[in-house]
Structure 1
Amino acid sequence: MEEIYTNVLPGSVKELLAYATSVSKIDAEYDLYKQHENRKLYGYKLNNKFIGCIGIELTEQQSCEIKQIAVSPFERRAGIGKRMIDFIFEKHSLSMISAETDQDAVNFYKNIGFTITSLGEKYPGVERFWCECLRTEKVK
Structure 2
Amino acid sequence: MPREVNRQPILRHPRRVIRYELRPTLVNVPTLANPSGAQRFPCVEALLGTRTSVHDTVVSVIDQNGDELNFMVSCQVNQDQRLSVNRSLRSICEVEWCGSVLVMKIGRRSAFVNMTTSDKDLANVAIVRFIEETNGPVGLEYVDFLEL
Give the TM-score, by structure 2 length: 0.29
Higher helix share goes to which structure?
1
Larger RCO of the pair (alpha carbons < 8 Å, separation 6+): 2
Instruction: Give the structure with the larger strand fraction.
Output: 1
Normalised by the length of structure 1, the TM-score is 0.30
Q: Is the radius of gyration larger for structure 1 or structure 2?
A: 2
